[in-house]
Amino acid sequence: MATDHNTILTESIKRLLRRGATTHLAKIVNKAHAADLSLVFRTLTLANQRKLFSVIKDVEQKGNLFSALEEKVLLDFIDSMRIDDIVAVMENMPSDDVADLLGKIPQKKADAILELMETEDSEEVEGLLSYGDETAGGIMIPDFIALREDMTSKAAIESIQKNYHDVEMPFYIYVVDENSKLLGVISLRQLVVEKPDTQLRDFMTTDIFSVRTDTDQEEVARIVARYDILAVPVIDETQRLVGIVTVDDVIDIIRAEATEDMLKMAGAGEVFVETQSVIRSTRIRLPWLFASCMGGIFAFFIISHFESSLEKLAYLAAFIPVIMGMGGNIGTQSSTIVVRGLATGRLHIKDLWKVVSKELSIGLILGVVYGLFIAVVAQARFYDTQSSGAFAISVGLAVLCSMSVAALVGSFVPMIMARINIDPAVATGPFVTTSIDIASVYFYFIIATTLIGV
């Protein structure tokens, strides 16, 4: 539905741009949702992007569009804008988005922009810039409702009407003491149904989830997801409430982290590249393939080493694919389960041995099943040749070895990486696959030449 709707919007806007029908274009653009406009925007040439942007009347809508744009598209566009125009738009964006953006443009330009912004806004942004990009501090927004614990519910409603007009997510009212220390939380609904003269401290919930400014964003996402809350308060080292992370940002984190993990495991970079140019995509994917290339060349040297055996027994080569394939596939299963399990919190790094021994058991069971099966195939095919029995046993054993080692490596490597704080997804993809390939080939030839004696 939304997709069709976007296709129609994109096509209408492109047609109007071609025809130069500015009035009609303005009508459509100013009615559209910024999230939809952002999808149109990224398909346009820079010249057309500028035209579209210029017909947006409301500067707040310009800010929404900036917030909705993909990073790369936005950075390219900003590059073409005058600095005052950028500042005007940025003053209408949530300060967490501004901080994000400023963190990504050249320092000099970012400083110039901060200088030109209103003091209040720029202070907020500078505060956010001081936290790590992927921490609660880096993704929080500094506007929230915080009221003192001795306020009555009537006074609280009045204060919200008067002072908190532009709070983005006014669903929770945080209760604080005179030092801004977080004491409890009240929902807007509770406030509406409570008797007017009750003090906030008398009906606030004190059992409250909060995160620290330096909490990793993935951890923040897990908390919001687990406890089904709409926003989580962020406190600094003195327990002062300094911001909130809202559920809409958490959704973005959850999607982006899943995408990132999938791409990393496939060795295809971190950021979704399909919207980028062929050259750029190629450049991102090239280095990851290098690991696999080096692994392949290494396997080549191993096999070369057994050249004389191969000369005597050419059909040894014919089982290389199945042995590599079975190892590779079970290794991918294990590492995917572990990487995803760690990311979603279903597996914990302290369970290292439990997880690895379970994967190893599965690898052994499946290795026996498929080892037997493939040995039977080998025996059936070569029953009439010399040493066919030893050959079938070698192939079966090689499958068993390859699959159990693959399950072991595929689960152990990401668990260990997570323990030493290296992203398990990055370390897992091509490296694990490649080492499993090498190990499989090596075991196979060692086992076969020993048992068959060639």
Range 245-304, binding its own copies (CB under 8 A): 247-248, 250-252, 254-255, 258-259, 261-263, 265-268, 272-275, 278, 281-282, 285-286, 288-289, 292-293, 295-297, 299-301, 303-304
- Per-residue interface string for the shown chain with its own copies, residues 362-401, x marking contact by CB under 8 A: x--xx--xx--xx--x---x--------------------
Residue-wise DSSP of 93-129: S-HHHHHHHHTTS-HHHHHHHHHHS-HHHHHHHHHHH
Q: Output b/e per residue, 116-141; b: 16+ Cβ within 10 A.
A: ebeeebbebbebbbebeeebbbbbbb
Q: Minimum distance from CB of 262 to its own copies (Å)? A: 5
H or E element, residue 148: strand 145-148
Residue 353 binds to its own copies (criterion: CB under 8 A): no
- Kindly tell me which residue out of 78, 186, 337, 397 binds its own copies, with binding defined by CB under 8 A: 337
Q: Which is nearer to its own copies, 112 or 352 (CB)?
A: 352
Q: How many other C-beta atoms can be found within 10 angstroms of the C-beta atom of residue 101?
A: 22
> Contacts with its own copies: how many residues (CB under 8 A)?
121
Residue 329 binds to its own copies (criterion: CB under 8 A): yes
Tokens matching residue 355: 């997880």
Residue 340 binds to its own copies (criterion: CB under 8 A): yes
Q: Which is nearer to its own copies, 48 or 329 (CB)?
A: 329
- Kindly tell me which residue out of 105, 112, 225, 372 binds its own copies, with binding defined by CB under 8 A: 225
- Interface with its own copies in residues 13-42 (CB under 8 A): 31, 33, 35
Q: Minimum distance from CB of 106 to its own copies (Å)? A: 27
- Interface with its own copies in residues 37-76 (CB under 8 A): none
- Kindly tell me which residue out of 116, 146, 155, 230 binds its own copies, with binding defined by CB under 8 A: 230
Residue 330 binds to its own copies (criterion: CB under 8 A): yes
Instruction: Check residue 369 and give left, alpha or beta (phi > 0: left; psi -120 to 50: alpha).
Output: alpha
Q: For residue 115, how far is the Cα from the chain centroid?
A: 33
Q: Which is nearer to its own copies, 129 or 342 (CB)?
A: 342
Determine the Cα–Cα distance for residues 202 and 196; give it in Å rounded to an integer: 12
Q: Which of 196, 188, 243 is closest to 215 using CA atoms?
A: 243
Q: How far is CA 244 from CA 96, 144, 211, 251, 418, in A?
A: 11, 7, 9, 15, 27
Instruction: From 22-30, 105-113, 178-186, 359-367, give the range in contact with its own copies by CB under 8 A.
Output: 359-367
- Interface with its own copies in residues 425-444 (CB under 8 A): 430, 433-434, 437-438, 441
- Kindly tell me which residue out of 92, 345, 387, 388 binds its own copies, with binding defined by CB under 8 A: 345
Residue 355 binds to its own copies (criterion: CB under 8 A): yes
Residue 189 binds to its own copies (criterion: CB under 8 A): yes
Measured N-to-C along each axis, helices 388-419 and 352-382 cross at an angle, to the nearest 10 degrees, of 160
Q: Which is nearer to its own copies, 106 or 227 (CB)?
A: 227
Q: Which is nearer to its own copies, 55 or 377 (CB)?
A: 377
Determine the Cα–Cα distance for residues 117 and 101; give it in Å rounded to an integer: 14
Q: For residue 162, how far is the Cα from the chain centroid?
A: 39
Q: Which is nearer to its own copies, 51 or 267 (CB)?
A: 267
Q: How deeply is 106 buried, as exposed, middle or buried, from its count of CB atoms within 10 A (0-12, 13-18, 19+)?
A: exposed
* Contact yes or no for 211/136 (Cβ under 8 A): yes
Q: Minimum distance from CB of 247 to its own copies (Å)? A: 5
